[in-house]
Amino acid sequence: MRTWSDFFSMGGYAFYVWGSYLLSLLAIGGEVLFLMRRKKTLNRISLEEQKTK
Amino acid sequence: MNLYKYASPVNFYPLAGKLIPWFSIPAAILFVLGLYIGFFIAPTDFQQGDAYRIIFIHVPAAWMGMFLYVLMAIYAAVGWAFNARLASMMASSISITGAMFTFLSLVTGSLWGKPTWGTWWVWDARLTSTLILLFLYIGFISLQAAIDDPRRADRAGAVLAIVGVINVPIIYFSVQWWNTLHQGATIRILGKPTIAAPMLTAMLVMLAACWLYSVAVVLIRLRCIILEREQTAALASEATA
């Protein structure tokens, strides 16, 4: 792999190689995103509880 | 220091919080390093061209799917046998990440299968047993979600997780026991010593990154589960008081 266009074309396998890594990013990023949202909701609930007490 | 103290969810909660950055930050660094080695240092494979570069995520994801299943089953069994709530929560936390990696190994495998085998999917022993692994994870997650009482959900999940462990050696040895289309993963790499080093290094760095990532997200989720269950317990005691 010498040039950037060679790099992006992946010897003609661009769809499969980049598709794999895009899906990996979506799966891992999605897991982190959902987890952060779950955490945020929980923190909000516990804050509200403290206020009412 | 009394280690047994940390078997209690309330005591483990702050410890887990302190541990998380020790895993999440190295995970991010190793993901970048592994991809750098995999894409810029590892040479093009003379048989498969650049399509083989899917290996750097496919193999670690497949290994994590299996490792995490065994780990989940052990935690579920300990939680059941010793009535240890924290261990059962750990099993629930692991199940999501394990399912994510198993799903990833199947889709990246499919994207690799199309250019190298000419098909997205075959009902081959390794692929089928990996699909069963995904179904076991989904079964565990839905079973737990379907039962309201958390300790009953833990016990039901434990039974499923323990029975399903038999599938893991089947996946692992499937390429030896049956005549399959799937290659014996590491054999190919070890067979070509000239290109072995950077390819193997990239794969192992990515595997380490996936491990560290898994520990970090499992601990974050474990903290969420502890909070959720404590809150539910508090609500329940308020209602009965």
Quick check: A37 contacting B, CB < 8 Å?
A: no
Residues B76 and B86: their CA atoms lie apart, in Å, by 10
Q: Residues of B with CB below 8 A from A40's CB?
A: none
Q: Which residue has the tokens 């098909």?
A: B119
B97 contact A CB<8A: yes
Q: What are the φ and ψ backbone dihedral angles of B143, each rounded to 5 degrees?
A: -60, -45
pLDDT tens-digit map of B210-235: 999 999 999 999 999 999 888 777 77
Total tally of structural domains belonging to chain A: 1
* Residues B116-144, mean pLDDT to the nearest whole number: 94
CB of B210 closer than 8 Å to CB of B101: yes
**Is the pLDDT at B21 greater than 80, yes or no?**
yes
Judged by CB atoms closer than 8 Å, whether chains meet at B104 and A23 is answered as: yes
pLDDT band, very low/low/confident/very high, at B194 (cuts 50, 70, 90): very low
pTM, whole model, 2 decimals?
Answer: 0.90
Q: Give the count of Cβ contacts less than 8 A between chain A and B.
A: 74
Name the pLDDT band for B193 (thresholds 50, 70, 90).
very low
Residue ranges per structural domain of chain B: 50-236
> HSE of B114 in the Cβ direction (CA atoms, 13 Å)?
15
The boundaries of the domain holding residue A42 are 4-52
- Asked if A27 reaches chain B (Cβ–Cβ under 8 Å), the answer is yes
Contacting residues of B for A13, CB less than 8 Å apart: 49-51, 115
A52 CB within 8 Å of a chain B CB: no
